[in-house]
Structure 1
Amino acid sequence: MHVNQYAYFALFSRSTSAAEMAAVLGLEPDEITVRGSRRTAPNAIPADHCWKIVCREPGLRVDEQVARIIERLAPHTAAIAALARSLDTENGRSGAVLEVVRCFNDRGAEQHDPSDATTEAPNLFGWHLSREVLDFLQATGAALDVDEYDMTPDHAED
């Protein structure tokens, strides 16, 4: 089965830009979105400004991707928590999230065959969140959002 997965931690806001968030944190994001930015159709127009630290490294389980993100963010936990609380008071539509995105049967993704014992490929299907990650989410008030999509051609349009 083909699996494409990645994770990111994001701070998002309707009024505070990603550049402003980076200035407060002293940490540049890997990716940003700009609220209301124009994109070529049919892509959605972002509803929020977003500051993201991302791990898209192939061959890692989700928990390994998340661990790499948290390692980068851990020294900034207090600042992230303060900023997330400040953003949350803006209008209730701002804050922090740890996002996991997984696409199964995505033909452009890496192949994973759990029944093939001859390869040393990691099992990409199972994952867990460590106490360190849960503590970080608690400290920053972040939500956990997991999106999983079946990209099989018969289901891709659903």
Structure 2
Amino acid sequence: MTESGWAKTLASATEMETELRDDGWEVITVRAGHVAPEPPAHGDTDRFGLVYLAQGEDADNFTNAVERAAFDGYEVFNRRKGEDLFVLTRLTDAERDLAVLLVGAVNLAHAGNLAAAARKRGVMYSHVQLLDGTHLSSFRHDDPSDFLPEDV
């Protein structure tokens, strides 16, 4: 039996978390209960990007980290399985040796409008919020091609 894309993504996140901690970094991991591709003008704002739903202790730890960090770098690791894209985004504050890992899965069947907008604008965002819609933080990424495959 082969390991699912989600299981592989979680294993990659755990491995990355361990490596960073072994190198002296503080690591906060948000294993999103859901990730939604949000195109511009969806709802009350022109906000767009991938929206990660954080829960429980992940949300609390994330909020505490964001309050004291100035994230200056990011890397995106993803794997596609059919219409599912499993995403691992590492945000880093090199001065504080602090990393946040955003882990989730996106249904690409619903990502076309977001992909088109991100390519046109040349930017992508990651938003982290609670299930009730409470916004925790947003991150700007200068290369949208890192996030969504070209055929979306």
TM-score clears 0.5: no
| Larger RCO (CA within 8 A; separation ≥ 6) | 1
TM-score (ref. length: structure 1): 0.29
User: Structure 2-normalised TM-score?
Assistant: 0.30
